[in-house]
Amino acid sequence: MSQVLLKDVHKQYRDTNVLTGIDMNIQDGEFVTLLGPSGCGKSTILRILSGLTDATGGTVMIDGKDMKNIPPKKRKVGMVFQSYALFPNMTVFENVAFGLKMNKKSTNEVEERVESMLELVGLQEKKKSYPHELSGGQQQRVALARSLVVRPKVLLLDEPLSALDAQIRKHLQVELRMIQRELNMTMILVTHDQEEAMSVSDRIFVMNKGKIAQEGTPSEIYTRP
Ligand code: ADP
Ligand code: ADP
């Protein structure tokens, strides 16, 4: 079953048409990238999927249900941003545990899930460190762990690597892809970096001015004239 389905989705701000008929069909466990220049509407799609804003037309389905009929807390859509937005006065462990404690999980369960997530992102040795003691790449890994630990069905990633140095970015692209496969999680990444899109995606949606201009696997996109 398709995990995320957009049918003829429109978004309008006053007299500006930001999205003009978006169709996307994303399968369970797929890694999909929205690629396109600044201002083409990529983030708007993520904001609609995360419930931060509403589409002004069309249908959005998550897990076979119209998003309008799923209460926000049950949507199970997580988001990672370009800025990590970690709590500066909490340790790495506490930052990752934060979402779980809000959900009233038992101490044992919190401990187990946080530990295994820190292991997955390679930060077990840093669990007692504070964000300012970490590099940018490490901070972004904490942000990723914090989003993953609540086990979303779909993870939205809004340019999560673009603030990082080229070398670390390459490294994290590979890691992100491994983590996605390991968890078999549906991920939707927004980027304007063509190389990044090519290296991590099962499928790329190339966007231009509020529309999908092209859609295909990296090799299909790459070999097309
Ligand atoms: P991208 O993520 O591809 O850079 P965005 O989705 O952020 O693009 O923005 C698409 C267009 O929508 C831009 O022209 C932007 O200025 C406009 N836009 C975004 N949010 C608003 C808003 N709240 N009000 C008016 N225009 C907006
Ligand atoms: P992005 O990093 O995706 O480009 P922006 O900086 O465009 O994001 O947008 C940040 C915030 O400002 C969003 O909440 C967006 O809705 C709002 N916004 C963006 N463009 C406009 C605009 N032209 N008019 C009003 N709000 C805007």
Query: What per-residue confidence (pLDDT) applies to 225?
Result: 58
**CB-CB neighbours of 195 under 10 Å:** 12
Report CA(155)–ligand 2 centroid distance (Å). 21
Tens place of pLDDT per residue across the chain (225 aa): 679 999 999 999 999 999 999 999 999 999 999 999 999 999 999 999 999 999 999 999 999 999 999 988 888 899 998 887 899 999 999 999 998 877 777 889 999 999 999 999 999 999 999 999 999 999 999 999 999 998 899 999 999 998 888 888 898 999 999 999 999 999 999 999 999 999 999 999 999 999 999 999 999 998 765
Tell me how far apart the alpha carbons of residues 111 and 125 are, in angstroms, rounded to a whole number: 15
| 157-174: b (≥16 Cβ within 10 Å) or e | bbbbbeebeeeebeebbe
Q: Which atom of ligand 1 is nearest to the CA of 14?
A: 25
- Tokens standing for 98? 């934060």
Query: What per-residue confidence (pLDDT) applies to 198?
Result: 94
Query: What per-residue confidence (pLDDT) applies to 224?
Result: 60
Query: What per-residue confidence (pLDDT) applies to 1?
Result: 65
**CB-CB neighbours of 151 under 10 Å:** 14
Report CA(107)–ligand 2 centroid distance (Å). 39
DSSP characters over 82-110: SS----TTS-HHHHHHHHHHHTT--HHHH
Query: What per-residue confidence (pLDDT) applies to 145?
Result: 93
Of all protein residues, the one whose alpha carbon is nearest to atom 23 of ligand 1 is: 13
- Comparing CA positions, the residue from 216, 211, 197 lying closest to residue 159 is 197
- Comparing CA positions, the residue from 7, 11, 3, 4 lying closest to residue 43 is 11
pTM for this predicted structure? 0.89
Report CA(152)–ligand 2 centroid distance (Å). 25
Main-chain dihedrals φ then ψ at residue 28, nearest 5 degrees: -55, 125
Residues 100-158 have pLDDT tens digits of: 877 777 889 999 999 999 999 999 999 999 999 999 999 999 999 999 998 899 999 99
Report CA(59)–ligand 2 centroid distance (Å). 23
Angle, vertex CA 164, rays to CA 141 and CA 42, nearest 5: 85
Tell me how far apart the alpha carbons of residues 89 and 177 are, in angstroms, rounded to a whole number: 30
Query: What per-residue confidence (pLDDT) applies to 123?
Result: 94
Tell me how far apart the alpha carbons of residues 5 and 18 are, in angstroms, rounded to a whole number: 19
Query: What per-residue confidence (pLDDT) applies to 205?
Result: 98
Tell me how far apart the alpha carbons of residues 211 and 71 are, in angstroms, rounded to a whole number: 28
Pocket of ligand 1 (CB under 6 A): 13, 16, 18, 36, 38-44
Contact (Cβ atoms closer than 8 angstroms) between residue 2 and residue 28: yes
Query: Residue 199: CA atoms inside 13 Å, Cβ hemisphere, count?
Result: 15
ipTM above 0.90, yes or no: no
Q: Which atom of ligand 1 is nearest to the CA of 210?
A: 10
Query: What per-residue confidence (pLDDT) applies to 100?
Result: 86
